[in-house]
């Protein structure tokens, strides 16, 4: 079988593979991307499309998220893919939620975040989508972006091919990778450097290495509304009190403990299904609402209506939109590690496996890719 050559070979055309492809190609390298499906259909098309630096804890992860955001804007502008630079609001209706928001705001500048605590009136001035009854205020952050993940995953390959000559091979599963060789059913490729960005597939390539990494999977249930009437805008992406508990960012707040205890006491069903509620809007006007978190290597293929109902009932309490009629339900899966936000290991010389191991791969992809490629000497 013929042997073809490329500087960089990438397995997986999800956002992590695409981010590596962009940065390697921008550095002048020839790049070939192999995707086993007709188009990527994993976590990268199933998410909120939130580029969410506020979710990253202070320090290296937050810095990587901000750098990643910068590269996102650069690539989206070049590729002419629309995005919304709306920022975000963590909205508080209970005193314990407001306490965390205020405490975080007091610490935010020192920790490197650009936040502001808004009172109820100021919150309503930022967003028409928030119910005023019982509103105490919100933590405003200007750094969050929203993209339509389906559009990104569809458009970036075409842009990368046109602008940088990146070659994409869809419907092409990689069944073997060794130092400088990628094997597919259609032939072998020789590459100076190989990036494996296979998402939550721990079985096809280097299963023996993945097995040692304590990885599991996380399943999330999601939904999307019909398009809102033209002219109605969500404004900032929204998170509510439950989200303070979800992201490690807020663990610096001593007030978080009381909030956690109250949620566990009052609403154990949220604990059981790992529910916290976030809302984003795409350019077509549809609202994406989620999510839940169920852990385990075996992902339940059957979605639970009880979970969707809990998410939607919670959203309805605080969100006012012209229509919350749901047009689509789905679930997505990402790789999960108990301690690491992402993993990057080299099973054999010349090969890097890059796996984001919590629900932050959209936010972090370009930042992580830059680091990987710098470390391997592929990009400056
Ligand atoms: C419901 C949900 C909501 C989320 N919301 C957000 C959010 O708003 N913001 C955020 O930052 N993150 C979010 N995340 C996390 C984020 O979506 C993921 O971390 C990210 O998409 C992972 O990207 P990836 O490229 O590693 O994986 P994937 O998107 O799963 O892509 C991996 C690709 O590799 C291909 N592949 C695997 N093995 C092979 C092989 N052997 N040969 C060829 N191809 C192969 C697969 O077909 C797949 O297309 C969310 C995740 C989910 C599931």
For the beta carbon of residue 257, count every other beta carbon within 10 angstroms: 12
Q: Which residue has the tokens 């090969």?
A: 351
Nearest CA, atom 41, ligand 1 = 174
- Report domain 3-46+150-212+340-375's class: alpha beta
336-350, pLDDT tens digit by residue? 999 999 999 999 999
Atom of ligand 1 nearest to the CA of 174: 42
Closest CA to 195 of 364, 13, 26, 358: 13
State the burial class of residue 192 (Cβ atoms within 10 Å of its Cβ: 0-12, 13-18, 19+): middle
Say yes or no to pLDDT of 1 above 60. Answer: no
Domain ranges of the chain: 3-46+150-212+340-375, 88-142+216-336
**Beta strands in the chain, from DSSP E residues, in sequence order:** 3-11, 31-34, 50-51, 83-84, 88-92, 116-119, 137-141, 145-147, 167-169, 174-178, 181-184, 187-196, 216-227, 237-239, 278-281, 286-290, 294-295, 326-336, 342-345, 351-356
Q: What are phi and psi of 341, to 5 degrees?
A: -75, -35
Ligand 1, atom nearest to 334 Cα: 53
Residue 53 clears pLDDT 70, i.e. is over it: yes
* Ligand 1 geometric centre to CA of 42 (Å): 5
Indicate whether residue 83 lines ligand 1 (CB < 6 A): no
Q: What is the mean pLDDT of residues 171-195?
A: 96
Instruction: Specify the CATH class of 88-142+216-336 in words.
Output: alpha beta
In the chain, the percentage of residues whose pLDDT exceeds 70 is 99
As a whole number, mean pLDDT of residues 143-147 equals: 97
**Burial tier of 313 (Cβ tally within 10 Å: 0-12, 13-18, 19+):** exposed
Cβ neighbours of residue 303 under 8 Å, at least 6 residues apart? 221, 329, 330, 331
Ligand 1 atom with minimal separation from the 184 CA: 42
Quick one: average pLDDT of 125-154?
97
- DSSP bridge partners of 353: 196, 345
If you average pLDDT over residues 205-212, what whole number do you get? 91
Give residue 379's pLDDT band: very low, low, confident or very high (50, 70, 90): confident
pLDDT digits (tens, 9 = 90+) for 182-192: 999 999 999 99
Q: Residue 192 Cα, ligand 1 centroid: separation in angstroms?
A: 25
12 CA → ligand 1 middle, Å:
9
Portion of the chain with pLDDT greater than 90, in percent? 96
Q: Which one-letter DSSP state was computed for residue 149?
A: H
Q: How far is the CA of 304 from the centre of ligand 1 (A)?
A: 22
pLDDT value of position 380: 72
Q: Is the CB of 219 under 6 A from ligand 1?
A: no
Provide φ and ψ at 290, rounded to 5°.
-165, -175
| Ligand 1: residue whose CA is nearest its atom 15 | 359
Predicted confidence at residue 130, as pLDDT, reads 97
Ligand 1 and 223: CB distance under 6 A: no
Of ligand 1's listed atoms, the one at least distance from the Cα of 278 is 8
């Amino acid at each position: 079988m013929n042997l073809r050559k490329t500087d960089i070979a990438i397995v997986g055309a999800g956002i992590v593979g695409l981010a590596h492809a962009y940065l390697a190609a921008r550095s002048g390298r020839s790049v070939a991307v192999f995707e086993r499906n007709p188009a990527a259909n994993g976590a990268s098309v199933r998410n909120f499309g939130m580029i969410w630096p506020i979710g990253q804890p202070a320090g290296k992860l937050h810095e990587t998220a901000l750098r990643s955001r910068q590269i996102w804007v650069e690539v989206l502008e070049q590729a002419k893919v629309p995005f919304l630079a709306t920022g975000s609001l963590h909205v508080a209706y209970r005193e314990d939620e407001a306490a965390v928001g205020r405490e975080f705001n007091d610490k935010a500048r020192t920790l490197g975040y650009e936040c502001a605590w808004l009172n109820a009136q100021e919150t309503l001035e930022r967003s028409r989508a928030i119910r005023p009854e019982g509103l105490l205020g919100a933590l405003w952050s200007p750094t969050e972006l929203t993209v339509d993940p389906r559009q990104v995953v569809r458009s970036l390959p075409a842009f990368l091919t046109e602008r940088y000559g990146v070659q994409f091979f869809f419907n092409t599963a990689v069944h073997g990778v060794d130092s400088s060789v990628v094997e597919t059913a259609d032939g072998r490729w020789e590459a100076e450097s190989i990036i494996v960005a296979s998402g939550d597939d721990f079985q096809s390539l280097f299963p023996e290495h993945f097995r040692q990494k304590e990885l599991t999977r996380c399943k999330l249930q999601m939904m999307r509304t019909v398009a809102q009437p033209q002219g109605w805008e969500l404004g900032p992406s929204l998170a509510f009190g439950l989200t303070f508990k979800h992201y490690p960012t807020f663990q610096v707040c001593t007030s978080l403990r009381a909030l956690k205890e109250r949620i566990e006491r009052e609403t154990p069903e949220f604990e059981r299904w790992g529910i916290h509620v976030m809302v984003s809007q795409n350019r077509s006007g549809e609202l994406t609402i989620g999510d839940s978190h169920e852990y385990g290597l075996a992902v339940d293929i059957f979605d639970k209506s009880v979970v969707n109902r809990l998410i939607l009932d919670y959203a309805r309490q605080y969100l006012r939109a012209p229509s919350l009629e749901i047009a689509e339900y789905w679930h997505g899966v990402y790789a999960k590690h108990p301690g690491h936000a992402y993993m990057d290991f080299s099973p054999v010389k010349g090969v890097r496996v890059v796996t984001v191991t919590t629900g932050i791969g959209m936010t972090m992809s370009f930042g992580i890719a830059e680091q990987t490629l710098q470390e391997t000497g592929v990009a400056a």
